[in-house]
């Protein structure tokens, strides 16, 4: 087995240890006490977040000169998101490139748009995670600095996007040594990828960034409403920042889909707020896995029905 596959066993081992050590009777009681009103708000926030992501992709592609219908963007966002949850290798990003390319976007530009989206989303998540760590672990008199960290971090991303041409000029002039670590794929397609990535950064990165902030705000809304559904007596900013940190940790290649690492992060941070291990585990599994799968399934039912039974609905097959 390759060493990278061995690393993924770390998350599995953590998850098994957590599942063995929790009191499932207490966990069941916590689950039965969930407030249905707040859960409905959680569902609405999730649907709004997916709508913004669909519109973001449509706007980004239109800025590159491609008119892709809402329906096609709907499929290109939701099906890859579903595959990203249920497949061990997080195949969602790869399939998203395929959907975009199938709708007339050249492969290099489809890859570039997805990479720009991913880089910006990870950058914003990293900033909120740093803000969260500052808020959680800094002494109380210095917790105000979390606001400064947030402002400076977002300004940094904004500056990189706006000054991309200037940054690339200096990298080309003084950063030739970076090419020593260039992947073979990029070396073979450097010119085409450079042109398409340059176009995506100049024309599509800013709306991706701004709408990405709306998405993460809705994500935080989901977390807040789920915490209210559990009835946590805690600092809700702490819970929200625990989400940011857990989501970032789940991206590390030491687990399958973040399972194990995400739950461990939640448990460690929430313990400081007096939240039980059982509640933290359920919170993580519901938000990071169960609700995501269920809601994506519901949103994808019309797509699959129209694909399988188009003649009964008078609709053409979706691509």
End-to-end CA distance of the chain: 37
- The per-residue pLDDT for 215 is 95
CA distances from residue 31 to 105, 233, 279 in whole angstroms, order as listed = 45, 16, 8
- Going from N- to C-terminal start, the domains of the chain cover 3-13+35-307
- The per-residue pLDDT for 257 is 60
- The per-residue pLDDT for 119 is 92
Residues lower than pLDDT 70 in the chain: 1-12, 86-93, 138, 140-144, 172-192, 252-259, 310-319
| Rounded distance between C-alpha atoms, residue 225 and residue 279, angstroms | 15
- DSSP readout, the chain? --HHHHHTHHHHHHHHHHHHHS-HHHHHHHHHT--HHHHHHHHHHHHHHHHHHHHHHHHHHHHTT----HHHHHHHHHHHHHHHHHSTT-THHHHHHHHHHHTT--HHHHHHHHHHHHHHHHHHHHHHHHHHHHHHHS-GGGTTHHHHHHHHHHHHHHHHHHTHHHHHHHHHHH-GGGGGG--HHHHHTHHHHHHHHHHHHHHTHHHHHHHHHHHHHHHHHHHHHHHHHHT--S-HHHHHHHHHHHHHHHTSTTSSTTTTHHHHHHHHHHHTTT--HHHHHHHHHIIIIIHHHHHHHHHHHHHHHHHH-HHHHT-PPP-
Place of tokens 């941070």: 269
- The per-residue pLDDT for 143 is 59
110 Cβ contact list (under 8 Å, min separation 6) = 97, 98, 100, 101
- The per-residue pLDDT for 3 is 45
- The per-residue pLDDT for 1 is 45
CA distances from residue 277 to 202, 263, 272, 287, 291 in whole angstroms, order as listed = 46, 9, 11, 15, 19
* Residue environment code for 178-188, b if the CB has 16+ CB neighbours within 10 A, otherwise e: eeeeeeeeeee
Distance of CA 25 to the CA centre of its chain: 32
CA distances from residue 274 to 23, 247, 266, 279 in whole angstroms, order as listed = 16, 21, 12, 10
Give the HSE-up count for residue 16: Cα atoms under 13 Å, Cβ half-sphere. Answer: 7
- The per-residue pLDDT for 305 is 82
Determine if residue 276 is left, alpha or beta; phi over 0 gives left, psi from -120 to 50 gives alpha, anything else beta.
beta
- The per-residue pLDDT for 205 is 95
Give the pTM: 0.83
Phi, psi of 259 (to 5 degrees): -65, 130
- The per-residue pLDDT for 71 is 92
| Rounded distance between C-alpha atoms, residue 310 and residue 317, angstroms | 6
Listed residue (17, 82, 78, 21) closest to 50, CA to CA? 78
Tokens coding 17: 């240890």
| Rounded distance between C-alpha atoms, residue 96 and residue 220, angstroms | 24
């Amino acid at each position: 087995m390759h060493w990278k596959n061995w690393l993924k066993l770390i998350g599995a081992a953590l998850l098994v240890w957590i599942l063995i050590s929790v009191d499932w009777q207490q966990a069941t009681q916590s689950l039965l006490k969930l407030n249905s009103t707040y859960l409905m708000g959680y569902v609405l926030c999730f649907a709004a977040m997916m709508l913004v992501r669909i519109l973001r992709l449509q706007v980004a592609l239109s800025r590159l000169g491609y008119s892709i219908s809402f329906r096609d963007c709907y499929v290109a966002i939701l099906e890859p998101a579903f595959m990203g949850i249920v497949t061990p290798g997080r195949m969602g990003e790869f399939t998203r490139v395929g959907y975009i390319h199938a709708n007339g976007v050249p492969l290099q530009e489809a890859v570039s748009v997805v990479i720009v989206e991913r880089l910006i989303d990870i950058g914003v998540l990293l900033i909120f995670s740093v803000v969260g760590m500052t808020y959680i672990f800094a002494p109380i008199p210095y917790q105000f600095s979390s606001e400064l960290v947030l402002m400076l971090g977002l300004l940094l991303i904004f500056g990189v996007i706006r000054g991309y041409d200037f940054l690339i000029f200096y990298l080309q002039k003084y950063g030739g040594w970076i090419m020593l670590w260039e992947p073979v794929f990029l070396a073979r397609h450097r010119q085409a990828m450079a042109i398409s990535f340059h176009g995506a950064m100049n024309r599509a990165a800013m709306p991706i960034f701004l709408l990405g902030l709306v998405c993460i705000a809705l994500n935080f809304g989901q977390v807040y409403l789920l915490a209210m559904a559990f009835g946590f007596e805690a600092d809700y900013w702490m819970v929200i920042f625990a989400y940011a940190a857990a989501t970032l940790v789940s991206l590390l290649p030491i687990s399958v889909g973040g399972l194990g690492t995400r739950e461990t992060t939640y448990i460690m941070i929430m313990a400081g707020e007096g939240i039980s291990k059982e509640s933290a585990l359920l919170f993580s599994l519901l938000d990071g896995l169960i609700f995501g799968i269920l809601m994506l399934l519901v949103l994808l039912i019309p797509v699959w029905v129209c694909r399988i039974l188009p003649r009964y609905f008078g609709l053409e097959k979706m691509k």
